[in-house]
Structure 1
């Protein structure tokens, strides 16, 4: 019995993974209000399969957010463990693509509402921010990162740069993220020529309202 059940479990897992990948891509490209049929089509599954795996749009949004944030957590943890300095860890993290997909969280009230009530998603998000703050403190203690920036500045800068470059013509869109992130990192280095206006943005500035 266990042997005959295994292929079914493998198929179910594969379908789930395909749906999550397709949904994350579409949410990032076009927002989370896209028709569920389009997500199923990109995932190469039937609409019935999509709804069996995820009962409604909110459930799918929460699953995509959880998986994306888990990837961010894993990337930050690896950078902290493997890079020799806080600045090297920060540079590696800022170049990772997972932050881009977190950007869809701010696209609509529907998305914000779905994520806000998801305890596991909130826990993972707080874990990611805890570790990113550790990276920031480490880089600032080394004297490599300017002291008038906070974790909120970094998260918003990355998402803004990456999402804006998506709207550029194809050739520019391919070149821009790497170039703009390099310019961004130069601007984050200490010592800074001039102070920044206002105050550093913190994790509290990233909270959903």
Structure 2
């Protein structure tokens, strides 16, 4: 079980850094295991990707639950959750956007629903307190988290992590009321994100 966790952790980091097509040999090397160990635990890349995505969603949902339970201030709960989601490497969820990813797998569906409900709950609590803009939706937050927690492609920015929380804080400041501007277009829902292009 320990090797499996190391492989999932290494894959999560490498998917964020290099994308889901990173060679399995490289994942094995970063996890400190042999190639055979990777294949013993994961029959192919799609199984590993699904495991990483479920792991990230479950851990991120737990961070939302902790923020809701432990923060009296609704916007502080949202702020805490967003920063915790970055630390969980939510950018690793980007393989879900791939047309080849198995979105109908039962474990994935359960993890996705739990995460979506918790994000909606954190946002609704902040909105109900009057601290969160009313013209944004869960999809807006999810897109920002996905974009702001991944290095820019080809940037070679080795110290990208040092900027993540700074940029997330700028984003969070823009979510607070009173709004300083009117946002163009309509709020992005999760359904909008799932709709084929």
Which residue of the partner structure matches residue 90 of structure 1? 78
Q: 1:70 to 1:81 in 2, by over 3 A?
A: same
Q: 1:79 to 1:26 in 2, by over 3 A?
A: same
Instruction: Return the alpha-carbon distance in structure 2 between the equivalents of residues 143 and 131 of structure 1.
Output: 19
TM-score normalized by the length of structure 2: 0.89
Q: 1:174 to 1:129 in 2, by over 3 A?
A: closer
Count of aligned pairs:
193
Instruction: Return the alpha-carbon distance in structure 2 between the equivalents of residues 182 and 104 of structure 1.
Output: 22
Q: 1:160 to 1:58 in 2, by over 3 A?
A: same
State whether residues 130 and 177 of structure 2, in contact with CA within 8 Å, keep that contact through their aligned partners in structure 1: yes
1:205 correspondence with 2:195: no
Equivalences for 1:92-107 in 2 at 5 Å?
Answer: 92-96=80-84, 97-106=87-96
Alpha-carbon displacement from aligned partner over 1:11-66 (angstroms, at most 9, x marks no partner)? xx111111111111111111111221111121111111111111111111111111
User: Of 103, 124, 129, which aligns to 1:137?
Assistant: 124
3-state SS in 1 of match to 2:65: helix
Residue 165 of structure 1: how far off its partner (Å) = 5.7
3-state SS in 1 of match to 2:126: helix
Structure 2, unmatched stretches of 5+, are: none
Instruction: Return the alpha-carbon distance in structure 1 between the equivalents of residues 29 and 39 of structure 2.
Output: 13
Where do 4+ consecutive residues of structure 1 move more than 6 Å?
none
3-state SS in 1 of match to 2:120: helix
1:46 correspondence with 2:34: yes
Which residue of the partner structure matches residue 63 of structure 2? 75
Which residue of the partner structure matches residue 34 of structure 1? 22
Alpha-carbon displacement from aligned partner over 1:122-173 (angstroms, at most 9, x marks no partner)? 21111111111111111111110010011110111122122246837445x3
Say which one has the larger Rg.
Answer: 1
Which residue of the partner structure matches residue 99 of structure 2? 109
